[in-house]
Amino acid sequence: EAFDVVVVGSCMTDLVSQAPRLPRAGETIHGHKFFIGFGGKGANQCIQAARLGVKAAMVCKVGKDFFGDNYIQNFKDNGVHTDFVGQTSDAATGAASITVNDAGENAIVIVAGANMLLGGEELQKALPAISHAKVLVCQLEISPQMSLQALRMARNNRVKTIFNPAPAIPDLDPDFYKVSDVFCCNESEAELLTGSSVTNVEEAHRAGQELLKRGCGSVIITLGPQGSVVLKAQESTSKHMPVSAVTAVDTTGAGDSFIGALAFYMANYPTMPLEEMARRANQVAAVSVQVVGTQTSYPFRHNLPAELF
Ligand code: RIB
Ligand code: NA
């Protein structure tokens, strides 16, 4: 069975509190709403790609618990293939405590749990799916060595790779750059990886050049309301793709919506220029920030304007 998009990554149950602002250390504040949702960067990206219409498979591990059972059902409800979704009784399903303030910004603590137990054996089992995919997507909420191994497996089989170094780690293995066709991160991740500030388009161009030098095929730095910056190894120009202004109520998972959409475009429109894919993915993500929640806010193909397809 051949898939358009295979994601090797995380699942988290999102425990979300909406509050006027983010609490300070030692402080208790009143929030106004609490809800539980499906999250985790890997699964978010996979679900967004599936909702746009690709055949998607997820390679991940959840706990043998209520949250894990629910998560598997969530994949099925979204048409995501679950043969490579493992369940373990040695750890709980990953969880994310999320606070969202009135400006739509968030602060997140993740406890990766079962995600960290996804191992080489499971990757081997998924090799037929990985090696026949059009696009493989990885992040950093599972063991980094597993992400790297999955990217290598894809590369060895000429499968296009998207790597999203999120959440960013300062000591990222330099091989990650070499196995990434598209290295896609946000401004704070770019800052951490390059050591220089990334707050505007100008600085993103410079950080992008630095990341590109490390060996990836192309770099995309997402800048929230400022759109994104796209750099390719074969071209010396760096392109800024702006996005139209929207009113954000919850930006949680917007970056994942962007990556999921990017995977969809790479799989379905392989000859489209990367900057055009980034422009369209940005419009998909812009829809998600206008609705509360993570996956609950991700649009389906039928919710989006026809010009995006
Ligand atoms: O990128 C957003 C995601 O980060 C949330 O869904 C949360 O689970 C954390 O992994
Ligand atoms: Na949202």
Note if 256 is an active site residue.
yes
Q: What is the rounded distance in angstroms from the CA atom of residue 237 to the CA atom of residue 260?
A: 25
What integer is the mean pLDDT of 232-260? 93
Could you give the C-alpha distances from 135 to 21, 70, 179, 247, in angstroms and in order? Answer: 38, 26, 13, 32
Cβ of residue 44 lying under 6 Å from some atom of ligand 1:
yes
- Tell me the whole-structure pTM to 2 decimals: 0.97
Q: Whose CA is nearest to atom 7 of ligand 1?
A: 40
When the pLDDT of each residue in the chain is averaged and rounded to a whole number, the result is: 97
Q: Which of 122, 184, 140, 132 is nearest to 156 (CA)?
A: 132
User: Residue 50: which pLDDT band, with cuts at 50, 70 and 90?
Assistant: very high
| pLDDT of the residue at 104 | 85
ipTM confidence score: 0.98
Instruction: Give the pair of three-digit tokens for residue 20.
Output: 């006027």
Q: Compute, in angstroms, the gap from residue 126 CA to the centroid of ligand 2.
A: 31
Query: DSSP state, 245?
Result: -
Q: Compute, in angstroms, the gap from residue 82 CA to the centroid of ligand 2.
A: 25
Atom of ligand 1 nearest to the CA of 294: 6
236-248 burial code (b ≥16 CB/10 A, e <16): eebbbbebeeeeb
| pLDDT of the residue at 103 | 87
Cβ of residue 256 lying under 6 Å from some atom of ligand 1:
yes
Model pLDDT for residues 96-146, shown as the tens digit of each residue:
999 999 988 899 999 999 999 999 999 999 999 999 999 999 999 999 999
Model pLDDT for residues 30-46, shown as the tens digit of each residue:
999 999 999 999 999 99
Cβ of residue 250 lying under 6 Å from some atom of ligand 1:
no
Model pLDDT for residues 221-242, shown as the tens digit of each residue:
999 999 999 999 999 889 999 9
Hunting for tokens 């930006």 — which residue is that?
A: 251
| pLDDT of the residue at 105 | 86
Q: Compute, in angstroms, the gap from residue 285 CA to the centroid of ligand 2.
A: 8
CA dihedral 189, 194, 196, 197 (to 10 degrees): -20
Model pLDDT for residues 53-100, shown as the tens digit of each residue:
999 999 999 999 999 999 999 999 999 999 999 999 999 999 999 999
Instruction: Give the pair of three-digit tokens for residue 285.
Output: 């993500």
Could you give the C-alpha distances from 105 to 57, 84, 141, in angstroms and in order? Answer: 30, 33, 20
Cβ of residue 41 lying under 6 Å from some atom of ligand 1:
yes
